[in-house]
Amino acid sequence: MSTISITPGSFAVAAPKRRLRLTDRGRTVLILLIGLPIALWLLLAQLNGGAATGTLEDGAAVPIVMVQPGESLWTVAERVAPGADPRDVIAAIVDFNHLGSADVMAGQQIAIPAPYNR
């Protein structure tokens, strides 16, 4: 058995690099692997990207109010129905929006029930 010894100054010869070749079938699979997830993502983004608009039974639009920083549901109730008792307005808003409590956060969008529309 012979051994190969590499001495300083001598170089080992590397195997030649082979170029990757794709067949038509390989190109099709590669395009599907890359394109299908992108197409599905675009489809889902299109389906979920629409803004929801609510309407009442008579076709009138439901007004939406955004809670401002520092506001509570009490201040929102006073703002949307200044002549009404805020406790009644809060109860109607909580019920209409299916809220678990009267706690709201800044930026939260709240639909206003029909009796308190301006």
- 97-106 pLDDT, tens digit per residue, is 988 888 898 8
Enter the CATH code of domain 64-116: 3.10.350
The answer to whether 85 and 77 have CB atoms below 8 angstroms apart is: no
| Spatial distance between the Cα atoms of 45 and 37, rounded to a whole number of angstroms | 12
pTM for the complete prediction? Answer: 0.50
Sign of CA pseudo-dihedral 70, 71, 74, 75? positive
pLDDT digits (tens, 9 = 90+) for 21-61: 889 999 999 999 999 999 888 888 777 654 455 665 666 67
The domain locations on the chain are 64-116
Identity of the amino acid at 34: I
Give the CB-side neighbour count of residue 30, counting CA atoms within 13 A.
Answer: 7
Beta bridge partners of 61: 55
Can you count the helices (H) and strands (E) in the chain? 3, 2
Beta bridge partners of 65: 110
